[in-house]
Amino acid sequence: MPLIFVGGLIFGFGLGFSHMARPEVVLNFLQFEDFGLLFVMGGAAVVTGIAFALVPRLRDRAPLTGDTYGRRLKSFDRNVLIGGAIFGVGWGLSGICPGAAYASLGVGNVTILWALAGMFVGAYVQGYWRSQRAASETAAARAD
């Protein structure tokens, strides 16, 4: 837990330092007025890319959890496109994504609570709907 806090600390400091915690800067990027944000996402992905490629070759298991080192691989289906598109509309409208929203609160931006409230509402709505659908599918399968 202390290590996760330290990791989050560095992560959040980076989001503040890079100005990605400011919706205006994200919107300036999406509106082609300042392409600097490419270096935030690119720089971060290069660092994780090196670590995710090297660490599994050097060690088998993580010291704190005993978990094996793996890559972040998720199965591809239609949801990746549908969800990605919905997220894209939200990101393009507001200029804020989840990690940057938490960091935005840290730099003093209390107005971002609107976005955080929205994110919880959105996460709840999709979770409620998908939970109900999963339950009714299970019930239907039992009825068969």
Question: How many other CB atoms are found less than 10 A from the CB of residue 43?
Answer: 12
- Can residue 118 be called a binding residue for other proteins (CB under 8 A)? yes
3-state secondary structure of 38: helix
Least Å distance, CB 138 to other proteins, is 10
Q: Is 127 in the site for other proteins (CB under 8 A)?
A: yes
Tokens 């935005």 identify what position?
A: 104
Q: Does 93 bind other proteins (CB under 8 A)?
A: yes
Total residues interacting with other proteins, rule: CB under 8 A:
117
130 binds other proteins (CB under 8 A): yes
Token output for 105: 């609160």
**In the complex, what is the shortest distance from the CB of residue 56 to other proteins, in angstroms, rounded to a whole number?**
9
Residue 128 has phi, psi (to 5 degrees) of -60, -50
Length of the chain in terms of residues written? 144
CA separation for the pair 103, 44 (Å, rounded): 16
6 binds other proteins (CB under 8 A): yes
| The binder of other proteins chosen from 57, 83, 136, 140 (CB under 8 A) | 83
